[in-house]
Structure 1
Amino acid sequence: LHFSTNEKINVAPNNIFIFFLYLGVGALYVRRRPRVRVEPIQSGGGQERGLRSGTVPAPLAVGIGEACAVAQKEIEYDHRWTEFLAKRLLDQIFGKLTHVIRNGDPLESYPGCINLSFAFVEGESLLMALKDVALSSGSACTSASLEPSYVLRAIGADEDLAHSSIRFGLGRFTTIEEVDYTASKCIQHVTRLREMSPLWEMTQEGVDIKSIQWSQH
């Protein structure tokens, strides 16, 4: 994305950790004469055109530049590698499990961020079962909330599927062995948790769960 040629972008905050840099470092792009007013995040000496007063830490700024340079140099290889890993993960999971839905457009989304809903499995239960794997529930925007992700609801997932979603992250340093291990453990625990679910048993018997009129006592 070339900010200098895109007049629609006034402000663009960037989390540099997505370029595999250390946490706590970020960058803010503000176009010349932006059509929005940007309030200062701290007052003081007026550096950075009054938006962020204080001396910029030079080592961190240099680190940002170097991380972006490496990312630009390796972007094509990283994308191919991530696509390969994503396909490997999805082929294993979809090859062994049914009633799994991939949330989002597979052609328009980043292959390193895969969100899957496992019907008849509570997402939090699956997270606990996979405690030796770094995963998240819901979307990146709502991973700290127990409510169903409004992001998933907005793209069409119903509440039950939003509650049963797990987000897998793949990247430059992810290995084939890690992908295979994650897929194997995911298949194992989804199968185990479904065997404990009466709704899964009813589905296997051909019952249409959505047609049932549930009553409260």
Structure 2
Amino acid sequence: MSQKSVSRFWEWGRKIVCVGRNYADHAKELGNAVPTEPVLFLKPPSAYLREGSPILVPRYSHNLHHEVELGVVIGKGGTSIPQGSAMDHVAGYALCLDMTARDIQDECKSRGLPWTLAKAFDTSCPVSDFIPKERIPDPGDVTIWLKVNDRLRQSASTSQMIFSVPYIISYISDIISLEEGDLILTGTPKGVSAVQEHDELEAGIDGVVTMTFRVDRQQ
């Protein structure tokens, strides 16, 4: 990814490929089986949200949950990328929130329907500033955390992920070609919970980045 592309990355964005249930304790807290292969879903570019704008609770949801995640920004596209060279395709990282309309997701799951309404709405993917690759030498060993109104809700090391970043990149690219500027969300640890209108969410990667968002309700 060129320096010009990096500086403009969050202005234009590309597709967002998300990995669900990538922390065993999170899968268990929602009553889900621990997966034996990655669970994938998508968010559109319109889901991106930068600091300074509010997270909007969809009109059709009354149980919006936070999920803090390490995001991987693809710098070089590819298809069927081998695990051994997967990190060569990484430009950098971002801290991300996968905002989830949990009541809608539960309804969709019970009816055997896709999660789109629960996961892909506008403002469902708040993101930090772009983090250059060299600032996170090992994406499998960083601590991510999230506070709601200054109370810690989530904190874990990415070493607890079931599937590593190289494995995820390789797995996704076998199914969906990855392109420069794509964002991969690598899953959330346990501790997800509901947020309310006017709540303040602060999230961070120790020693690297922090970000803050407020919650509002869609009018």
Specify which structure has the higher proportion of strand: 2
Same fold (TM over 0.5): no
Question: Taking structure 1 as the reference length, what is the TM-score of the superposition?
Answer: 0.26
TM-score of the superposition, structure 2-length normalised? 0.26
